[in-house]
């Protein structure tokens, strides 16, 4: 990755993700930090980039507003904190951007909004319209109604999904650490900093730590997961420290960060949606011949299927498993689960006799397949 590519100024549409610990301290908004961050955002916008912000902080801020105690919150307390915090957070962004003559537009998403095609397209259209009107979209998980997202979700992966949804060419994850190390640096003083990760391998994933504060639901692992989603869809990603004021300006001035360059061939919007957004509804086991055929660009035929599990309908996403049981990709299935089980392992010419109508020759068409390349190497 060239030094020019390691600059925010060379990108045209940038998503910036802000973690709770950077924005909120002891239940209070860090206004000076937010004002400095917004100043960076406006500078990049004035240089020609379209800017989006994915902001955590509603639960942490709402905790302070409602006077909730420190420590783990019950689900309903987290939802109440989010409801109170979202109003204050949106107003803070509107005020900070307004000081520069800019408008803010709030979008509250759950992961479900990126899983269903119609909702995905609606959210994408809203983001596009806000950008066209010169506003800065401020995006957060809708934690006041979401359940599993509060307990298991994280805004790192949400930011990656927003970046692919918006066709952004750069995703910035502001963190409490300045990038990826070979081991957690607070635990291992011998840990080595990595300025660039050309591809996310199993070894890279093993370097990730876990969440570090009660305000944060993410850690380095979720950032690596975000990197897999973003880079596969043609979005470069950088992890850098947000602890100091003006973190985006500091990054362009040479501050440390770990860059994850986009893969050479960006996925189409459809394949990005299949690979990074859809919740899989089942699993399809494959034989070695089917794996070889798909790797060479062919569709998945019923003859290469060894097992079918899950409850899915035609058009749903399914996970593809190698003969060794490794996940090698995802695809949109052309048959309901009961029919897929009936035709698994059979020749395509037999399909009509088995299911009673002339169905597709392919179990999954090549245009509906997304393969995880490292898993096939």
- Sorted by sequence, the CB contacts under 8 Å of residue 199 that are 6+ apart come out as 263, 374
Residue that terminates a domain, selected from 216, 240, 271: 271
Please give the Cα distance from 13 to 5 (Å, whole number).
14
The reply to whether 74 and 214 lie within a common domain is yes
Query: 279, 115 in Cβ contact below 8 A?
Result: yes
- The per-residue pLDDT string of the chain (377 residues; one tens digit each, 9 = 90 and over) reads 666 568 898 899 999 999 999 999 999 999 999 999 999 999 999 999 999 999 999 999 999 999 999 889 998 999 999 999 999 999 999 999 999 999 999 999 987 787 776 677 688 889 999 999 999 999 998 888 766 544 435 789 899 999 988 989 999 999 988 999 998 888 888 999 999 999 999 889 888 755 444 444 457 888 999 999 999 888 999 999 999 999 999 999 999 999 999 985 445 656 777 877 778 999 999 999 999 999 999 999 999 999 999 999 888 899 999 999 999 999 989 999 999 999 999 999 999 999 999 888 999 998 789 998 655 55
pLDDT of residue 269: 58
Q: Tell me the residue ranges of DSSP E strands in the chain.
A: 13-18, 24-25, 28-29, 50-55, 103-109, 135-141, 170-175, 180-181, 193-194, 236-241, 257-260, 282-286, 305-310, 317-321, 327-332, 369-371
- Sorted by sequence, the CB contacts under 8 Å of residue 29 that are 6+ apart come out as 23, 57, 61, 88, 89, 92
The reply to whether 252 and 289 lie within a common domain is no
The reply to whether 222 and 355 lie within a common domain is no
User: Which strands make up the sheet holding 327-332, listed edge to edge?
Assistant: 305-310, 282-286, 317-321, 327-332, 369-371
CA pseudo-torsion sign 240, 264, 168, 268: negative
How many folded domains does the chain comprise? 2
The reply to whether 241 and 317 lie within a common domain is no
The reply to whether 106 and 160 lie within a common domain is yes
Map residue 8 onto helix, strand or coil.
helix
In a domain, 3, yes or no: no
Number of H helices, E strands in the chain: 15, 16
In a domain, 1, yes or no: no
Query: 353, 346 in Cβ contact below 8 A?
Result: no
Map residue 20 onto helix, strand or coil.
helix
Residue that terminates a domain, selected from 271, 303, 338: 271
pLDDT of residue 124: 85
Helix (H) or strand (E) holding 149: helix 148-152
Query: 159, 54 in Cβ contact below 8 A?
Result: yes
The enclosing domain of 21 has a CATH number of 3.40.1160.10
Please give the Cα distance from 106 to 135 (Å, whole number).
10
Query: 164, 230 in Cβ contact below 8 A?
Result: yes
The reply to whether 147 and 287 lie within a common domain is no
Query: 242, 231 in Cβ contact below 8 A?
Result: no
In a domain, 362, yes or no: yes
pLDDT of residue 110: 80
pLDDT of residue 85: 96
pLDDT of residue 208: 78
**Long-range CB contacts (within 8 A, 24+) of 199-207:** 199/263, 199/374, 200/224, 200/227, 200/228, 200/231, 200/260, 200/374, 201/374, 202/374, 204/180, 207/180, 207/181, 207/182, 207/183
Domain region containing 57: 8-271
pLDDT of residue 353: 94
Please give the Cα distance from 22 to 172 (Å, whole number).
14
In a domain, 28, yes or no: yes
pLDDT of residue 216: 42
Q: Can you read off the two tokens belonging to residue 228? A: 């897999």
In a domain, 202, yes or no: yes
Please give the Cα distance from 247 to 366 (Å, whole number).
42
Q: What is the pTM of this model?
A: 0.73
The reply to whether 240 and 123 lie within a common domain is yes
- Sorted by sequence, the CB contacts under 8 Å of residue 296 that are 6+ apart come out as none
Diameter of the chain measured on Cα atoms: 70
Dihedral of CA atoms 289, 264, 156, 240 in degrees, nearest 10, equals 140
- The full length of the chain comes to 377
CB burial class (10 A; 0-12, 13-18, 19+) of residue 282?
middle
In a domain, 2, yes or no: no
Residue that terminates a domain, selected from 219, 245, 271: 271
Q: Can you read off the two tokens belonging to residue 123? A: 């959210």
């Amino acid at each position: 990755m060239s030094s020019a590519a390691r600059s925010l100024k060379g990108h045209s549409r940038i998503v910036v993700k802000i973690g709770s610990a950077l924005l909120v301290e002891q239940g209070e908004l860090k206004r000076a930090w937010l004002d400095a961050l917004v100043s960076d955002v406006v500078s990049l916008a004035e240089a020609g980039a379209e800017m989006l912000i994915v902001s955590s902080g509603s639960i942490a801020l709402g905790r302070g507003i409602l006077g909730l105690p420190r420590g783990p919150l019950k689900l309903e307390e987290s939802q109440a904190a989010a409801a109170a915090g979202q109003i204050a957070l949106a107003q803070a962004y509107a005020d900070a951007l307004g000081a520069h003559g800019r408008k803010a537009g709030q979008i509250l998403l759950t992961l479900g909004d990126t899983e269903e095609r119609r909702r995905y397209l609606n959210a994408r259209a809203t983001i596009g319209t806000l950008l066209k009107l010169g506003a800065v979209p401020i995006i957060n998980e809708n934690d006041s109604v979401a359940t599993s997202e509060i307990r298991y979700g994280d805004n790192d992966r949400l930011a990656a999904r927003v970046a692919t949804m918006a066709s952004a060419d750069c995703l910035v994850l502001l963190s409490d650490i300045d990038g990826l190390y070979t081991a957690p640096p607070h635990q291992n003083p011998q840990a080595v900093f990595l300025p660039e990760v050309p591809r996310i391998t199993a070894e890279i994933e093993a370097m990730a730590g876990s969440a570090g504060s009660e305000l944060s639901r993410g850690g380095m692992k979720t950032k690596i997961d975000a990197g897999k989603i973003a880079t596969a869809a043609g979005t470069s990603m950088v992890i850098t420290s947000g602890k100091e004021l003006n973190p985006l300006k500091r990054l362009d001035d040479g501050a440390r960060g770990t860059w994850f360059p986009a893969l050479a061939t960006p996925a189409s919007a459809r394949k990005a949606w299949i690979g990074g957004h859809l919740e899989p509804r089942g699993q399809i086991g494959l034989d070695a011949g089917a794996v070889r055929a798909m790797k060479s660009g062919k569709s998945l035929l019923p003859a290469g299927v060894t097992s079918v599990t899950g409850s899915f309908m035609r058009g749903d996403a399914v996970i593809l498993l190698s003969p060794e049981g490794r996940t090698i990709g995802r695809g949109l299935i052309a048959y309901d689960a009961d029919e897929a089980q009936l035709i698994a392992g059979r020749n395509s010419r037999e399909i009509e006799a088995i299911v009673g109508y002339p169905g597709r020759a392919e179990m999954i068409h090549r245009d509906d397949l997304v393969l995880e390349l490292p898993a096939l190497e």
